[in-house]
C-alpha cells in the first residue's frame, strides 16, 4: 500500500463515528417513494462541504417519457430531487460515477420491528433501521471515501461524479434522468449491499399485475359462485412452475451459489370486498426477474403465454383468462465483461484492505446498473457493504465494520481508477 493510501485509510478508521452519525442522519429521514426530499437535504448538506460542483434537480417526466427505457408509474418528481456532485480531475485519468439511490422501500409491518424503522440506533456494532443496508450504508461509504480523499489532499486526475438518485426501487427513473442530463463516465460503481462481493452481472426485473376473475355469490351458498381467491391459488402455483422452468435454463457459473437466479416474486395479493361474499376479483402483484442475457420483451411474452395455458388445466380460465399488466417499474439487467478493468482495479483495492481474493458473482436482483450501462453506455460494477438478505426486511441493519471496510476499499478503488497526482 502506498503511503497516501494508508493515510486515506487511517483517516476513515479514525472517523468511524462520523460515518455512523451520517448514516443515522440519512436513515432518520424516511425516504420512501415521493418522500425523498429530506434525506436528499442531508446528502446536500454533506456535499456542500466538498470541493465539488453540486447539481440538484427534479427529473422531468416529460423529458423522461422521451426515453425508451423509461417505465414508471410516477407522474411527478416534485420534491423528489436527484443530486449529482462533480469533482473535476486534473486531467489524464479515467472518469468514474459513484451511484447510490436514496429511496427506500416501506417498512412493512411495524410489529415485526424491534426498533423504530426510522429512528436508527446502534447495538453491538450494528446500525438498525430501514435503509441501513439498502442502501444508505453504501451511500455513506461513498461519502466517507470522497471526504477521506479530500481531507488527505488526494488530487484525482479523472473526474469523479457522485450521484444520489431517487426512484431506484421503482425502476431507475432517477438514474435515467441523470444519464439524460449528460452524466456518463468511463466506469461506475454502485455500492448496493453485495456483502462486499463483486457483482458483475445483475438480474433485471419487471413488475406485473395479474387479475384473476371469479363469480360473486352469497357466502352462504358459495358453491353458486366461483372464488377468485381459489383460482388465484392455481395462478400462483402455475407461476411457481414457470419460475422452475426459467431457472433450469440458467447455466452461467456465476449463478452457481444462487438458490434461484431469476426469481418470480409474488409480492402482494388483494381480492374480495366482503367476508360474506364470494370474491369476484383478485389482483396479484409481483416482480419477475430478467436474466442478464434476456430482453424484457421476451420474458413478458413467455409469462403471458404461460398464463394463457392455464386454460388447459382449468376450463374456467378459458372463459375468464387472467389479465396481465406490466406496470410501474422495470429494471434492466446488467452484464459487465468478465475481464473488464473495473473488476481488476477493484480486486486490487479489495486485496490491499482484506488480504483476500474477492468473490465474483452475479446478483440475484437488479440495480441502476442496467440503466447506467444500457442508457448511459457506462460499464458498471456493483460492490458494497451490507447483506442482500437484510434488504426490504424488518430489523434491517448493517455492520459498522463492513461499512468502514468498504469505504476504505472504495477510496483506494477511486484513487487507482481515476489516478491521482503523486
For residues 110 and 130, what is the distance between their CA atoms, to the nearest angstrom? 11
Judged by DSSP in three states, 124 sits in coil
**End-to-end CA distance of the chain, in Å?**
14
**Pick 150 or 361: Cβ nearer a second copy:** 361
Of residues 36, 150, 167, 168, which has the active-site annotation?
A: 168
Q: Which residues pair with 56 in a beta bridge?
A: 83
DSSP letters spanning 270-310:
EE-S-TTB---EEEEEEEEEE-TT--HHHHHHHHHHHHHGG
Residue with cell string 420474458: 299
- Please identify, among the stretches 10-18, 84-92, 114-122, 255-263, the one whose residues bind a second copy according to the rule CB under 8 A: 255-263
**Pick 143 or 391: Cβ nearer a second copy:** 391
Does position 266 bind a second copy by CB under 8 A?
yes
The only residue of 58, 285, 302, 311 in contact with a second copy, by rule CB under 8 A: 285
Does position 116 bind a second copy by CB under 8 A?
no
Does position 388 bind a second copy by CB under 8 A?
yes
Of residues 103, 147, 294, 419, which has the active-site annotation?
A: 103
What is the smallest separation between the CB atom of 165 and a second copy, expressed in angstroms? Answer: 17
Q: How many residues bind a second copy (CB under 8 A)?
A: 66
Q: Which of 61, 55, 261 is nearest to 170 (CA)?
A: 61
Residue 147 among the catalytic residues:
no
Does position 217 bind a second copy by CB under 8 A?
yes
**Pick 149 or 390: Cβ nearer a second copy:** 390
**Pick 113 or 417: Cβ nearer a second copy:** 113
Count other Cβ atoms within 10 Å, centred on residue 50.
16
The only residue of 233, 245, 344, 359 in contact with a second copy, by rule CB under 8 A: 233
C-alpha cell at 76: 411527478
Does position 108 bind a second copy by CB under 8 A?
yes
Does position 35 bind a second copy by CB under 8 A?
no
Judged by DSSP in three states, 173 sits in helix
Chain-centroid distance of CA 106 in Å reads 14
Residue 103 among the catalytic residues:
yes
For residues 234 and 284, what is the distance between their CA atoms, to the nearest angstrom? 12
For residues 333 and 335, what is the distance between their CA atoms, to the nearest angstrom? 7
Query: Interface residues with a second copy (CB under 8 A)?
Result: 105-106, 108-109, 112, 134, 169, 203, 205, 207-208, 215-225, 227, 229-230, 232-233, 236-237, 259-260, 263, 265-282, 285-287, 289, 328-329, 363-366, 388-389, 391-394
Catalytic residues: 103, 168
Amino acid at each position: 500500500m502506498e503511503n497516501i493510501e494508508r493515510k486515506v485509510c487511517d483517516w476513515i478508521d479514525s472517523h468511524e463515528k462520523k460515518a455512523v452519525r451520517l448514516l443515522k442522519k440519512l436513515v432518520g429521514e424516511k425516504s420512501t417513494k415521493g418522500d425523498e426530499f429530506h434525506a436528499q437535504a442531508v446528502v446536500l448538506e454533506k456535499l456542500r462541504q466538498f470541493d465539488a460542483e453540486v447539481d440538484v434537480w427534479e427529473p422531468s417526466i416529460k423529458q423522461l417519457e422521451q426515453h425508451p427505457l423509461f417505465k414508471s408509474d410516477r407522474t411527478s418528481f416534485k420534491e423528489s430531487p436527484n443530486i449529482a456532485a462533480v469533482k473535476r480531475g486534473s486531467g489524464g485519468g479515467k472518469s468514474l460515477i459513484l451511484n447510490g439511490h436514496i429511496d427506500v422501500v416501506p417498512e412493512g409491518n411495524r410489529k415485526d420491528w424491534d426498533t423504530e424503522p426510522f429512528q436508527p440506533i446502534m447495538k453491538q456494532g450494528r446500525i438498525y433501521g430501514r435503509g441501513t443496508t439498502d442502501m444508505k450504508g453504501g451511500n455513506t461509504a461513498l461519502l466517507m471515501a470522497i471526504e477521506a480523499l479530500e481531507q488527505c489532499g488526494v488530487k484525482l486526475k479523472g473526474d469523479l461524479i457522485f450521484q444520489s438518485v431517487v426512484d431506484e426501487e421503482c425502476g431507475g427513473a432517477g438514474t435515467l434522468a441523470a444519464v439524460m442530463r449528460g452524466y456518463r463516465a468511463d466506469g461506475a460503481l454502485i455500492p448496493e449491499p453485495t456483502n462486499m462481493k463483486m457483482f458483475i452481472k445483475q438480474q433485471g426485473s419487471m413488475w406485473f399485475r395479474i387479475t384473476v376473475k371469479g363469480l360473486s355469490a352469497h357466502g352462504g351458498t358459495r358453491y353458486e359462485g366461483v372464488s377468485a381467491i381459489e383460482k388465484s391459488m392455481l395462478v400462483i402455483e402455475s407461476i411457481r412452475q414457470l419460475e422452475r422452468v426459467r431457472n433450469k435454463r440458467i447455466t452461467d457459473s456465476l449463478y452457481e451459489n444462487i438458490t434461484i437466479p431469476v426469481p418470480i416474486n409474488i409480492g402482494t395479493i388483494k381480492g374480495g370486498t366482503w367476508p360474506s361474499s364470494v370474491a369476484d376479483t383478485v389482483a396479484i402483484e409481483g416482480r419477475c426477474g430478467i436474466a442478464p442475457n434476456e430482453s424484457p420483451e421476451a420474458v413478458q411474452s413467455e409469462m403471458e403465454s404461460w398464463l394463457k395455458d392455464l386454460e388447459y388445466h382449468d376450463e374456467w380460465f378459458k372463459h375468464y383468462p387472467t389479465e396481465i399488466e406490466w406496470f410501474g417499474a422495470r429494471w434492466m439487467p446488467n452484464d459487465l465483461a468478465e475481464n473488464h478493468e473495473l473488476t481488476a482495479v477493484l480486486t486490487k483495492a479489495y486485496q490491499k484492505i482484506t488480504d483476500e481474493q474477492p468473490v465474483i458473482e452475479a446478483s440475484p436482483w437488479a440495480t441502476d446498473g442496467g440503466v447506467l450501462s444500457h442508457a448511459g453506455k457506462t460499464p458498471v460494477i456493483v460492490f458494497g457493504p451490507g447483506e442482500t438478505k437484510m434488504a426490504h426486511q424488518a430489523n434491517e441493519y448493517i455492520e459498522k465494520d463492513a461499512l468502514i471496510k468498504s469505504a476504505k476499499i472504495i477510496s483506494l478503488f477511486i484513487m487507482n481508477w481515476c489516478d491521482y497526482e503523486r
